[in-house]
């Protein structure tokens, strides 16, 4: 399963929810990957992007073709 989020970082509600979902699904022997700008670690893919001012480090992913390639690669691994 691949979850994609446009926001990721300290205090991002999506981050907590997606990490909790990842832990629950992994416990059920599912493979769960999260793709988000700035996401790093096991089961996480950094979508890149540009930093948004005044947002505590949130980024805006750019380059649709690159994002599609990252998603396709996630499905093959």
Q: What is the pLDDT of residue 55?
A: 75
Question: Burial of 47 by CB count in 10 Å (0-12 exposed, 13-18 middle, 19+ buried)?
Answer: buried
Q: What is the mean pLDDT of the chain?
A: 86
Token couple for 34: 């999260």
> Could you write out the three-class secondary structure of 2-43?
EEECCCCCCCCHHHHHHHHHHHHHHHCCCCCEEEECCCCCCC
pTM score of the predicted model:
0.81
- The whole-angstrom separation of Cα 53 and Cα 34 is 24
3-state secondary structure of 17: helix
Q: What is the pLDDT of residues 36-65, one digit of tens each?
A: 988 889 999 999 888 888 877 778 888 888
């Amino acid at each position: 399963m691949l979850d994609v989020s446009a926001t990721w970082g300290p205090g991002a509600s999506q981050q907590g929810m997606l990490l909790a979902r990842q832990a629950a699904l992994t416990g059920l022997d599912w493979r769960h990957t999260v793709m988000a700008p700035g996401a790093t670690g096991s089961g996480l893919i950094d979508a890149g992007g540009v930093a948004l001012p005044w947002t505590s480090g949130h980024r805006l992913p750019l380059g649709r073709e690159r994002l599609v390639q990252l998603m396709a690669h996630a499905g093959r691994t």
